[in-house]
Structures are given as C-alpha cells and as structure tokens.
Structure 1
Amino acid sequence: MPTRRGEPKKAAECLRTALRDYNLKFGTILNDPDLASLRASPEFKELQEEARLGGEDIGYSFRRDLKLISEVQAPFRGVRRFFYVAFSAAAGISLLFTVPRLFRAIKGGDGAPDIWETVGNAGINIGGIIVLVALFFWDNKKEEEQLAQISRNETLSRLPLRLSTNRIVELVQLRDTVRPVILAGKKESVSSALQKAERFRTELLRRGVLLVPVIWGEGRTPQVEKKGFGVSKKAATALPSIGVDQGSTRI
C-alpha cells in the first residue's frame, strides 16, 4: 500500500519536535529500520539538512556528532583557527599603534617617524589581517563542506543491499567486514567490468572486496505492503538488489 500523501511531512514534523524538545539523537533516526522509506523522501533530506546546520528549531545534537567526526578527520583545524585568531589580534594591536605614527609621519616635523617605513608597517599589518581573516573563513567553508559530505555518507551507508545469499543488509553493516566497491553504469559496461574482475577473484576475496553492481534505469519497483514507514521482514525479501535483479556479486 503506497504511503499516503502528506504522511512523510507529518512524520518529519514529529521528528523535528522530538529532536528539539526531547533531545532525540539523529543517529537513532538514521538507524531505525522502520524509517527506511521516510529516509528516501524529500522531507527527510530537508530535515537532515536542517539538523546538519543546527538551530533552535531542531537542536544541535546531530551537528555536534558531525563535528566530532570532522575533528577526527581534520584534527589540526582547531589549532589553525587558534593561530588565525591570535595572529589577527596581534596584527590588529600593532596596527592600532602604527596608525598614530602614520599621522605623525604625514604631518612631518622634528621627531616624526619615517613615512615609508611607517606605511610599510601599516601595509603589512593590514595585509596580514586580510589574509588571516580570509583563511579563517576559507577553513569554515571547508568544514561545512566536510560536514555535508559526512552527512551524505551517513545517509548512503543506510542503503539496502542484497547479497548473493539473498540476504538484505545495509551498507553500514558491512563496515569492518568487507570493503564495498560500487560498479555503476549501463548494463554492458558493468557486465564488462565484472568479467574483467573475474581474473582477480582470489586476490579480491583475500582483501575482502565486495563488488556491488548498479545498473542505471533497470531496477524494479516491487509492490510492498508497508505499515507506517517500515518494511516487514517478509516483504524485505521481495526488495530488488541495488541495480540488478540477481543481487550483488562478491568475487
């Protein structure tokens, strides 16, 4: 039975309230199998983007989790920011003392500092502040891009995958067990890639590589009876493999 119109929107609003008022972890939403079909909806993508940015309306728990992962991947970002701020402050303080000297140099007279030296010092301080502030904002932009990538990876890791044993698993369940390699494209190109990989079968098995063929435009959409947003275990066996009818191929 297809999902009723407006149901994902109502569910997203309920989850938004739970995230804001009851400190629900966004990871719980990502891991809940009953919300699998909701996670494929545009409403969930909007909810995830809001959670990534954080705010009073949705809380900051998901953003904090993403930032922890980001800090592991880029451990020196905080150190760089500290030096950006520290050196910018030092250049700003130096500029405060340089500006009065510049005015005295322009006026001239006895005891006036050399104008070219003073202008050079002021230029160095101003240039340093501009460069350091630009680097600070560039680092912030890179962090946001990294957070978006981590959030996207978290979503992709929940994609269902049918193994050659006809068992349905999520990609995240294969973590620390095998290394999935997705072969995506037209049927001819994917089949050709699998045939070429056949001669490396033993080596790939030894390295724990799992080949996942994805055929564009040839997936089947089965009629699955759903309750809420979940898929029953019985119906799960009717789900198609990712891209191919026979399921993923491990070689």
Structure 2
Amino acid sequence: MALLSCNAACCAGPRCLATGATAQPTKKRLQIVGVDLLHRTRLREGVPPIFSLTFHHSVFPSSITRHFQQSSSSAPSHQARRGFSCRAAGNGTERRPEYSKDARARAEVLSPFRTVRQFFYIAFMASGGLGTLITLSKVAASLSGIDNGVPLESMLKDLGIDIAAVAVFAFLYSQDAKAKNAQLARLGREESLGNLRLELTNKQTVTASSLRGRARLIIVAGPPGHIEAVLESAKPFKDRLVERGCLVVPLVTEEAKGAKSSEAAASSEGALTESSSPSPPAEYKVNIETERRWKAAPLYTNEWRKWLEQQMELAKVGMGTPVYISLRLDGRVRASGLGIPPWPIIVAQLGPMTGSSFMDGFDGAV
C-alpha cells in the first residue's frame, strides 16, 4: 500500500488556470495506476504474474484485482497464461440441482416436520458420537491396566449402545434426506411442466402453470392411433369433463407409419385441433362452447416429450407406451396409468368446479 500512496503522490492532477487548485485524481484512478506500476516492477524482477495474482488478491480490493487479472491476461508470458488456465479448470466442481423458492416452500408445506426431525437426528448422532468417544477412552484406559471403577463388560455394553444409536439415527437421517431430494425432484418436474406451453382452441397461447386453479389437465400420450381412440372414448363424457374443469392435452409420442411430411404428421396429431378431430355421432353432439373448452394442443412438442420421458423413466415404463397423467388443480400429479384414462372413474371422483355441493371443486381421491 506504500507503493500505491507513493504513486498517488506522484500522479497529481493538472492545475486549474482560474483558481490554481490541483485536481485530485479519483480513487479508482489511483488504484489502477498503483497496480500497473507494481505489475511492471514484478515483471522486471522476474516474478511470474500468476504469483502476483495470488498475492495481491489478498491485499488489494476486488476492483484492483479485476484490473490486475486483465493486465495478467495480456502479458506475453505463455507460462503465466497456462498456469492461470490450469487453476481455473482445477476449481471446477460438480453443480448440484437447484430448486426454486416455490418448490422448497411447497416441500415444507407437504412435510412440515421434516426439518425438526432432521435436527433431532443430528443432535442424537452428536450425542451418541460424544458418548462413543468417552467410552472408547475408558475402554482404552481399562485395557492399559488403569482401574476406573467400572467393569470392562459394562463399558463395552455402553459402547455398543452408543455405536448402534449413531448408526440408527444416521440411517434415519439419510432416509429422510433421500425422501426430501425425491420430493424436491418431483416438485421440480411439476414446475418444469408448468413452464410448458399450450394453445387453446381459441388460438390463445398459455402456460400450464397459468391454468392452475382453473383447469385440471389430463395428458394423454401415445401413437396417433391411440390418441384417436382416447378422444373417441371421451366423447360421451365431454359435458361432465367440462363441468369439472378437465382439459385433455393429447400428445403424439411417435410419428405414424407411412407419414410422408411434417404436414401429415401434424394432421395425425388428432387431436390437437377441431378441424382434425372426427365428427361426433349424433348421440354425442355437444355445443360449440363445450367442444372448445375440453382439449388443448401442446406447443413445442419436443419439450413435452422430454418431460414425459423423464416421468416414464422414473416410473420404469418403456418408451413409447401409451400413458395418461391426470393433474390436480394446483398442478400436482393426481393419478397416472397405462392405456386409455378411466373416464367414468375420473368423472365420479371429481366434483364440478361450481355448484352448491360441499365437495364441489375438490380433486377427489389421489
């Protein structure tokens, strides 16, 4: 810092012609000038720039350190650049998955006592570990011939109890931590689902999360033939599905055989628009408003398929298997299964969105 003040004194600013006062340089300019002169001095002395970077990072503020890093990167020494690159690569660590505050808050709501349990687990492990150390010291003293007034058998029994307690509470803590990570991972997947986009039949584009509290998404996935069969089986329940806020999202997971172009593949998605869905029989005719409100088209289907593949991998279901996933009003997974959704059961378990019944608006059995 003496060198910095010396350079500050030598770098007085120009005098004002009107007042004769000396313009004082700013703090940032003083810092940069001092570092430049110190850097040149160390280069003349033969000190490698990588050593100067490590030394001055602990002395000077971060602003000077950043300027010094820029000066070191422009130095002609190939050895200095190579040393800096190796150090930067060596500091790399594996990144842990990051979850949003909403996901962590939801995890706390779903398991409110987990933090308390983990605290007591750690406290009991610490107590058992301390007891183990104390008992080990007594056993060692007894084996060396020092009489401490306690039988060796009793000390060994206490030692076994302490070790068993530590092992049990460590196992419970690890199981609770695994459950917490699995829950956070599930909530993270639900959040990623909420970021996926949908196109309603009125051409409005929305995210799945924006429909929470207003619609229960029922995602059906499979080949084009399966999608057509699912929509055909849901026709008798359209009115009751709309009353319960159900929104069917058909997702084609593979192209139909013999598809010649992307237009043909898009039309094979069924499904996704009113024009491509077959005309309902006379006994299942519904009004236009019901027809518009009961299904939506997934946008950016590759992202939808990626999310679905993660779900199927966790459930250990083969890729390409026709599945359905029913969501609650809050966006959580309510039920899932293979094949065609059980429409009669879904309609029976879910209450209407509006009405006078006590169970209206509830998500039913989970």
Give me the TM-score of the superposition, normalised by structure 2. Answer: 0.42
- Pick closer, same or farther for the CA change 1:110–1:156 going to 2, 3 Å: closer
Q: Deviations over 1:189-212 (max 9, x none)?
A: 222222222233333223211111
Task: Name the counterpart of 1:67.
Answer: 104
SS of the aligned residue for 2:251 comes to strand
Task: Name the counterpart of 2:134.
Answer: 97
**Runs of 5+ consecutive residues of structure 2 not aligned to the other structure:** 1-93, 275-291, 296-366
- Pick closer, same or farther for the CA change 1:97–1:125 going to 2, 3 Å: same
Task: Name the counterpart of 1:201.
Answer: 238
Q: Say if 2:224 and 2:270, in contact at 8 Å, map to a contact too.
A: no
Q: Which of 172, 177, 193 is the matching residue for 2:214?
A: 177
Q: Which of 166, 175, 197 is the matching residue for 1:138?
A: 175
Count, aligned residues: 179
**Structure 2 residue 168 is matched with structure 1 residue 159:** no
- Pick closer, same or farther for the CA change 1:194–1:99 going to 2, 3 Å: same
**Structure 2 residue 247 is matched with structure 1 residue 210:** yes
Aligned equivalents of 1:202, 1:244: Cα separation in 2: 18
**Structure 2 residue 239 is matched with structure 1 residue 246:** no
Task: Name the counterpart of 2:113.
Answer: 76
- Pick closer, same or farther for the CA change 1:111–1:50 going to 2, 3 Å: closer
Once the two structures are superposed, the pairs formed by residues 99-118 of structure 1 within 5 Å of their partners are 99-103=136-140, 106=143, 112-118=149-155
Aligned equivalents of 1:113, 1:137: Cα separation in 2: 35
SS of the aligned residue for 1:75 comes to coil
Once the two structures are superposed, the pairs formed by residues 221-240 of structure 1 within 5 Å of their partners are none
Q: Which has the larger radius of gyration?
A: 2
Once the two structures are superposed, the pairs formed by residues 9-20 of structure 1 within 5 Å of their partners are none
- Pick closer, same or farther for the CA change 1:63–1:175 going to 2, 3 Å: closer
Between structures 1 and 2, the one with greater helix share: 1
Aligned equivalents of 1:71, 1:177: Cα separation in 2: 24
Q: Partner letter of residue 69 of structure 1?
A: R
Q: Which of 229, 238, 255 is the matching residue for 1:192?
A: 229
Q: Partner letter of residue 250 of structure 1?
A: W
Identity %: 30
- Pick closer, same or farther for the CA change 1:215–1:136 going to 2, 3 Å: same
**Runs of 5+ consecutive residues of structure 1 not aligned to the other structure:** 1-48, 54-61, 223-238
